[in-house]
Amino acid sequence: MGLEKALSPWKCFIRAVQLSGLALLSAGWSPPPRPLSTNVSHQVLTGQSQQMSALYDARSRTRGDRLSIELDLSDDTQYGFVLNRLHAAGKNERNSPELFNKLARLRRRALSRGNGQPAAAALPEQPIWCDHYLIVKPPVPSNDGKSMRYEPYVHVSCQGGATYVYADIVAYETNQTETQSRLVASNAGEEYGGGTNFIDVGTVATVHVADGRLLRLESIALAVDDVTGRDVSTYTVARTSVALREEGGFTLLHPRENVPNNTADIVLCQLRGGADCDYAVAGYSNGVLMAYPPTPTGVAASRTDAPGVLNPADYWEFSAPFNNRRLYIPVRTEIKAGSRNYLQCKVDSYTYGRIRLHTDTGVVCSNTVDFKSLLPVGNYAATFNHLADTSYSINQNDPEDCGVNKVLNRATTFTITIMGKARCTSAEGVDYLEPFYKSQAIDGRELTTQRLFFRNSCMAEGTRIQLAGGRVVPVEQVKLGDKVLAGAGRAVLTVTDVARGNELAPFVHLRDSLGHQVMLTEMHPIVTAKGQVVAARDLKVRDQVRTDKGVASLTAVKRVPVKGKRVFNLKLGTAEELAGVDALGQTMFAGGFLVGDMAMQEELERPANEPAADVLARLPKAWHQDYLNARRRSAE
């Protein structure tokens, strides 16, 4: 089915936040997944699966970075396959009338566009609305080593979301030629009113270690959006040898939390940051690795035992000059080829390697350079280090979709997938090539959700800060432990962190009616006369703001060039101090203006938590019966 025509610096701070609980990013509703039933015989499903698998292989070489193919609903085989899988999932014309009405209309449309073209012909490549692929993490071996337990799952991300998404997963154990198949496990699920990050559908597949056998995983995804008129049906396959014992076969070492904190955040700071940064742009000065040099040469991780001190052992160099508009993710993985009949194998070749960052809007950002040629070969175990520029949009609609300006405070999940073959030599000296498919992820299925935040809140060097004792000093002279005069009832707060770094965008220069002036980065929070917190970039002449002399009117608001000035920000208040202040407590007087600290800036930039809308109220009326039936069925 063709895609309908779509509607037509890591700033200061990028944070990957790990939230507790199964915090899926989609805003819709989905019932618990269910295994495929016997409504359709396994023999029929297996036969159709073999046909579809052959079609996938015939078309897979044309897809570039895509891991799924689009289905042609004008073809009887493909359309019948979709219908049978839906029926096996318990969907039918009675409990899902709109879904089957939609499928019938899409079938008629596909037939009218067919013009007699053969179904096996590859459909034209188009921008991806929905990215659809499988996550297959290394299996867990049984105690006796005779079997392995896989827990694969489906990932579907539709840019802008979808009215309805269906996904399933089926696991088969097959011979190498896939002429003999045994159904191992299956599951199917759906989501109404979400679709930006649907990862609910997974299964558990336990297989015996056996020579000449494969675990073949396959998935169908259907997505429909009534608002934009878009729709897509896709199919994907993953294969991995079950002759390979893969204990620890693919371990993600970075990115990770290096600086312990209460929320298990992973914090990546590109232009500037404080001691809570897990990673920072860096460079060497007189043999010392320093954060935020004028011309960064790479990214480094903080030492766990000394937050804010960079670790030379965890340093990734840029392969091209630093670009503050791009997203850089330091990646380190340990890859093991596995063993066959207890003899270690070696990685022979790679056929695929890609990182994906899925935003909460369904945009998929990926590595700009295909790194499969950089992956280590010829070894049983090897470490892969790579600084990934993830500024390429798989959706291909807008080249800026994955620029830092578009991922401002957008929650993302992180996945990495590699495919290839391991060369295994038997005791008799015979070589065997065994396929593998390996994934790792930081996402909701692991009770963590990675989020990236792009922050621009800092003050220009030279900005005068009022300390508790009445002394006024430039912000660059403020140290950890200093006491600052806060705006909340003139409270005194301790400086608990100092962020420093560079700025590329022009400053916002403010001047008021009482003679104050200050230069702030565009997203730095400032308090208005009414107690509202706004970004400096949103202020205009005659706005009233709070100052150390009372309320003042702005007489000038303009942008001024940075001219190499360094920028700084402070984090204020111990837990005991903050317990006694109100919502405007974490503030200070900078240049006489009442401004927020780092914590207030983070809150300002965080997307507002909109009240959870009733899914039924958001769904088009045509889908109400499908949705209500699904709710009733899930309660059975």
**Residue 137 is encoded by which pair of tokens?**
């993490």
Contacts of 72 (CB under 8 A, 6+ apart): 1, 78, 110, 119, 123
- Separation between Cα atoms, residue 374 and residue 379, nearest integer Å: 14
Residue 275 has pLDDT above 90, yes or no: no
**Residue 242 is encoded by which pair of tokens?**
């079950």
**pLDDT tens-digit series, residues 505-533:** 788 999 999 999 999 988 899 999 999 99
Do residues 214 and 176 lie in contact, with contact meaning Cβ atoms separated by under 8 Å? yes
Taking the CB of residue 20, how many other CB atoms lie within 10 A of it?
A: 10
Query: Which residues of 529-599 form beta strands (DSSP E)?
Result: 533-535, 544-547, 550-560, 567-572, 587-590, 593-596
Count CA atoms within 13 Å of residue 398 on its CB side.
11
- What are the φ/ψ torsions at residue 129 (nearest 5 degrees)? -85, -50
CA 354, 304, 255 angle in degrees (round to 5)?
Answer: 10
Beta bridge partners of 289: 284
- Separation between Cα atoms, residue 351 and residue 233, nearest integer Å: 25
When mean pLDDT is compared over 349-358, 389-398, 562-571, the highest value belongs to 349-358
Taking the CB of residue 322, how many other CB atoms lie within 10 A of it?
A: 18
**C-alpha dihedral sign at 53, 55, 57, 63:** negative
- Separation between Cα atoms, residue 535 and residue 322, nearest integer Å: 27
**Residue 541 is encoded by which pair of tokens?**
């002449």
Residue 116 is predicted with a pLDDT of 45
621 exposed, middle or buried (CB, 10 Å; 0-12, 13-18, 19+)? Answer: exposed
177 exposed, middle or buried (CB, 10 Å; 0-12, 13-18, 19+)? Answer: exposed
- Separation between Cα atoms, residue 565 and residue 503, nearest integer Å: 8
CA 259, 368, 358 angle in degrees (round to 5)?
Answer: 60
Residue 406 DSSP code:
T
Please give the distance of CA 44 from its chain centroid, rounded to a whole number: 37
In this structure, the dihedral spanned by the alpha carbons of residues 153, 158, 164 and 170, taken in order and rounded to 10 degrees, is -20
Contacts of 60 (CB under 8 A, 6+ apart): 69
- Separation between Cα atoms, residue 407 and residue 403, nearest integer Å: 7
Q: For a pLDDT cut of 70, what percent of the chain falls above it?
A: 87
Domains and CATH numbers, the chain: 23-243 (2.60.40.10), 250-446 (no CATH), 459-605 (2.170.16.10)
- With helix as H, strand as E and coil as C, how does 120-183 read? CCCCCCCCCCEEEEEECCCCEECCCCCEEEECCEEEEEECCCCCEEEEEEEEEEEECCCCCEEE
Average pLDDT, the chain: 86
Q: Looking at 50-54, 68-72, 197-201, 602-606, which range is the least confident one?
A: 602-606
Sole residue written with tokens 């090539």:
433
Residue 227 is predicted with a pLDDT of 93
Amino acid occupying residue 580: G
**C-alpha dihedral sign at 490, 492, 493, 498:** positive
Residue 409 is predicted with a pLDDT of 62
Any alpha helices (H) in 186-271, and if so which ranges? Answer: none
Contacts of 414 (CB under 8 A, 6+ apart): 16, 255, 329, 355, 356, 357, 441, 442, 443, 450
Amino acid occupying residue 276: D
Do residues 528 and 542 lie in contact, with contact meaning Cβ atoms separated by under 8 Å? no
Residue 120 is predicted with a pLDDT of 43
Between strands 550-560 and 544-547, the pairing is antiparallel
Confidence category of residue 562, pLDDT binned at 50, 70, 90: confident
- Greater pLDDT, 596 or 269: 596
Confidence category of residue 600, pLDDT binned at 50, 70, 90: confident
**pLDDT tens-digit series, residues 423-455:** 999 989 999 999 999 999 988 776 554 555 545
Contacts of 635 (CB under 8 A, 6+ apart): none
- Separation between Cα atoms, residue 119 and residue 113, nearest integer Å: 12
Residue 125 has pLDDT above 70, yes or no: no
Residue 607 is predicted with a pLDDT of 58
Residue 254 is predicted with a pLDDT of 95
- Separation between Cα atoms, residue 112 and residue 582, nearest integer Å: 64
Amino acid occupying residue 106: L
Q: What is the mean pLDDT of residues 61-72?
A: 78
- Separation between Cα atoms, residue 526 and residue 533, nearest integer Å: 6
